Structure 1
Amino acid sequence: MQVLLFTHSVMRWLVLGSLGWSFYKAYVAYTNNKPFTKTLNKLRHWTATVAHIQLMIGIILYSQSQTVKALFAGLSGNGHITDPVFFGVIHITLMLLAVVLVTLGSAMAKRKSSDSEKSKTMYIWFGVALLVIFVAIPWPFSPLAQRPYIRPL
C-alpha cells in the first residue's frame, strides 16, 4: 500500500506538469494563431494518458483506504470536513470530474476541424481541469486535508 501511496504522490506532479504544460502550449498556440502540431497532439494524448493512470491508482487506493472505510463505517466526525469526508467524498468526486474534463477536452480537441479550434478547446478544458485538481489535492497548507508534497516510502 505504501508503494501505491508513494506512486500516487509522485504521479500528482506528472499530472500537474503535463496538464500545466499542455494548457500553456495550447493557449500559446491559440492566442498566436499557431498550427496544432503533431507535438501538441502528442502532448494532448499523453496528458490524458497520465491522468487516466493516476485515476486508476487512485481508485485502487480508494478501495483499500482505511480512511475511506472509516467514512462508510460512520466515523467521519462531527459535521466538519475530516479526512474521511475529504478523501471519501470531496477528493474522489473532484478528481473524477477533473479526469472527465481532461478526457472530454482531449477527445473534443482531437475532433475539431481547425487548428485554432483544437488549441482553444484543449486550453479551456484542460484549464478547468487544472483548477479542479488544484482544489482537490490535499496540499500541506490545505484547510481541508493535509498531506506532504511527496509521501515517503
Structure 2
Amino acid sequence: MYETVRVLHSYWAYLALLILLFASINAVLGFSGNRDFKNKDLRISLFGLIFSHIQLLIGLVLYFVSARFAMWSEIGMGGIMKDSVSRLYLVEHPIVNILAIVLITIGWSKHKKQETSKKKFGKIGLFYTLGLILILSRIPWDVWFS
C-alpha cells in the first residue's frame, strides 16, 4: 500500500502544481490586466483549490503509512530534528505544505467576499502564489527527479 500511495502522491503533485501555477498566473494576469472575473477564472481557481486539497489528503495518508512515521517512537523528536532528511519528511514538508494549503483556502474564501474583479484576482493571486512558493520550497527535489 505504501508504494502505491507514494507513487500516487508523486504523480498527483505534478498535476496539482501545474494547475496551481496556472491558477496563480491567471489571477496575477487578471489583476494586472483589469479583466472581469468570469466563470472560467472561478473554475481555474477552484481546480487549484481542489487539486491541492486532494494532494494534501494523499500526503497525509502517505505520512501515516510510511515506515518513517515509526521514527517518532524510535528516536523521538530530538533524533528527528538532528537528522536533516527525517526532519524534512516528518516535520518541514508536512507542516509547510499544510500551511500552504491553508493559505490557498484563505485566498479562495476571501475572493468570494470581494465585490470587484480586481480584488477577486488580487486575493487569489496573492494567497495562491504564497501557497505555491511554500509548496515549492519543501519539495524534496533530489528524490523527486531521481
Residues 50 and 79 from structure 1, CA distance in 2 versus in 1: closer, same or farther, beyond 3 angstroms? same
Q: Deviations over 1:62-105 (max 9, x none)?
A: 11111132144216468241x22111110110010011011111
Alpha-carbon separation, structure 1, partners of 2:9 and 2:20: 16
Aligned match of 1:148: 144
Gaps of 5+ in 1: 141-146
Matched-pair contact (CA < 8 Å) for 1:68–1:87? no
Residues 42 and 78 from structure 1, CA distance in 2 versus in 1: closer, same or farther, beyond 3 angstroms? closer
Task: Name the TM-score, length of structure 1 as normaliser.
Answer: 0.87
Q: Deviations over 1:31-80 (max 9, x none)?
A: 01001110010011111100111111111111111113214421646824
The list of structure 1 runs, each at least 4 consecutive aligned residues, that deviate by more than 6 angstroms after superposition, is none
Aligned match of 1:27: 28
Alpha-carbon separation, structure 1, partners of 2:56 and 2:34: 33
Q: Which structure is higher in helix share?
A: 2
| Cα RMSD after superposing both structures | 1.6
Task: Name the TM-score, length of structure 2 as normaliser.
Answer: 0.91
67-76 or 51-60, which moves further after superposition? 67-76
Q: 1:109 aligns with which of 111, 118, 143?
A: 111
Gaps of 5+ in 2: none
Alpha-carbon separation, structure 1, partners of 2:9 and 2:122: 30
Aligned match of 2:89: 87
Residues 63 and 108 from structure 1, CA distance in 2 versus in 1: closer, same or farther, beyond 3 angstroms? same
